[in-house]
Amino acid sequence: MMIKMKWLMRKCSKCKRYTLETGRCPYCGGELFVPHPHRFSPEDKYAKYRIAIKLTKERTLNEA
């Protein structure tokens, strides 16, 4: 229950208050965002991809 509540929470970018509203901040009308961090960011995915490319390249150079 508490975990579910946490995921539904939004934070106001203006007054920094937490709310269960999904549209606008009920206190100041500011924009809301989801405060929890993204566990799988696209950056991490690309980093993994870059490492894979690097390893493939190194292996090709060693074989040549």
Residue 32 makes contact with Zn ion by CB under 5 A: no
Task: Determine the Cα–Cα distance for residues 58 and 50; give it in Å rounded to an integer.
Answer: 12
Query: Would you count residue 15 as binding Zn ion (CB under 5 A)?
Result: yes
Q: Of the two residues 27 and 46, which places its CB atom closer to Zn ion in the complex?
A: 27
d(CA 22, CA 37): 17
Judged by CB under 5 A, which stretch of 7-15, 34-42, 47-55, 56-64 contacts Zn ion?
A: 7-15
Q: Report the alpha-carbon distance of residue 10 to residue 18 in Å, rounded.
A: 6
Q: Which member of 18, 27, 46, 49 binds Zn ion (CB under 5 A)?
A: 27
Beta strand pairing call for 18-19 and 32-33: unpaired
- Contact positions vs Zn ion (CB under 5 A): 12, 14-15, 25, 27-28, 30
